[in-house]
């Protein structure tokens, strides 16, 4: 399999009050096309910083990041903005939807901002409706974003992140604001999308979310301390399979000092 993402000697240093905080210290890893990788680790270990530095939301201090064959650390701001819009999808804990716009209009926005694929408005609308059907939120298309549940809103964010058919999805605590059942729903959707070929890198605190992924990287103090490879998860695994995966992840996390 080809690499979807390559990260070489990545460093990120913040300067606050004239003090240097070396948050990422020579981080190296690759993500292959079709993988679903979870980043775990203690609070403050640099997980979000890592996600932002590899996805071009923030500039690393040193090191190289390549998306497929494109070295994105060499791009200027406008080139990078284009890659983010066209080739990457983003999902956050705080969902960043625009008020005063319907759920569907929010989802449509990134598609109207790009000429990728040369799609007509009609084609864009059709694709949007197809995504909403897949994520099971067709019935709330015209709702205001304040009129839906957290789980529905996060599924709408997933639709939005997929509108421009990204090569890779980045998610920072995508289930962090959700209750257990909404979180399970969202993970089922992410598993389905991954199954259909989209590569996913997500940060999570939730062992159950991580157990849904095909690999887990554990980061401590700005370095990758360990990794756990799991079988590719079934989209609808049996309870026994789920429990087995979770036990495996749990044991490994205790070894990591979780």
Residues in contact with ligand ADP by the rule CB under 6 A: 14, 16, 21, 23, 41, 43-49
Residue 40: CB minimum distance to ligand ADP, A: 9
Give the strands of the sheet with 3-16, arranged side by side. 19-32, 3-16, 62-67, 70-71
Kindly state the smallest distance separating residue 203's Cβ from Mg ion, in Å: 6
Burial label for 46, CB within 10 Å (0-12, 13-18, 19+), is buried
Q: Which is nearer to ligand ADP, 64 or 221 (CB)?
A: 221
Among ligand ADP, Mg ion, none, the one that 156 touches (CB under a kind-dependent 5 to 8 A) is none
Instruction: Give which of 128, 180, 127, 182 is closest to 155, Cα–Cα.
Output: 182
Q: Count other Cβ atoms within 10 Å, centred on residue 11.
A: 16
Q: Report, in Å, the least distance between residue 50 CB and ligand ADP.
A: 7
Mode of pairing for the β-strands spanning 223-229 and 70-71 = unpaired
Question: Which residue lies nearer to ligand ADP by CB, 14 or 112?
Answer: 14
Return the number of the residue (22 or 143) whose C-beta is nearest ligand ADP.
Answer: 22
Shortest distance (Å) from residue 111 CB to ligand ADP:
30
Residue ranges that bind Mg ion, judged by CB under 5 A: 47-48
Residue 108 contacts which entry, Mg ion, ligand ADP, none (Cβ below 5-8 A, type-dependent): none
Query: Nearest 5°: phi and psi at 212?
Result: -80, -10
Q: For residue 141, which of 151, 131, 150 has the smallest C-alpha distance?
A: 131
182 interface partner picked from ligand ADP, Mg ion, none, CB below 5 to 8 A per type = none
Cβ nearer to ligand ADP, comparing 108 with 202: 202
Cα 145 from Cα 254, distance rounded (Å): 39
Q: Closest distance between Mg ion and the C-beta of residue 139, in Å?
A: 33
């Amino acid at each position: 399999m080809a690499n979807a993402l390559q990260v070489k000697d990545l460093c990120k240093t913040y300067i606050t009050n004239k003090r240097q905080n070396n948050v990422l210290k020579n981080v190296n890893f690759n993500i292959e096309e079709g993988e679903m990788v979870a980043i775990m680790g203690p609070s403050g270990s640099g997980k979000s910083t890592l996600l932002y530095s590899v996805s071009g939301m923030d500039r690393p201090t040193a090191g190289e990041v390549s998306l497929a064959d494109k070295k994105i650390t060499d791009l200027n701001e406008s080139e990078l903005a284009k890659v983010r819009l066209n080739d990457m999808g983003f999902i956050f804990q705080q969902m960043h939807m625009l008020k005063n716009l319907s759920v569907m209009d929010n989802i449509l926005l990134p598609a109207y901002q790009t000429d990728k694929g040369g799609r007509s408005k009609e084609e864009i609308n059709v694709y949007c409706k197809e995504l909403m059907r897949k994520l099971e939120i067709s019935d709330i298309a015209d709702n205001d974003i304040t009129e839906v549940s957290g789980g529905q809103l996060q599924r709408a964010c997933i639709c939005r992140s997929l509108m421009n058919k990204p090569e890779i999805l980045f998610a920072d605590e995508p289930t962090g604001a959700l209750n257990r059942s909404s979180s399970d729903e969202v993970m089922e959707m992410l598993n389905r999308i991954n199954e259909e070929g989209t590569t996913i890198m997500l940060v999570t605190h939730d062992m159950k979310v991580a157990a849904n992924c095909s690999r887990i990287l554990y980061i401590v103090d700005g370095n990758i301390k360990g990794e756990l490879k799991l079988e590719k998860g079934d989209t609808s695994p049996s309870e026994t399979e789920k429990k087995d995966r979770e036990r495996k992840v749990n044991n490994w996390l205790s070894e990591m000092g979780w």
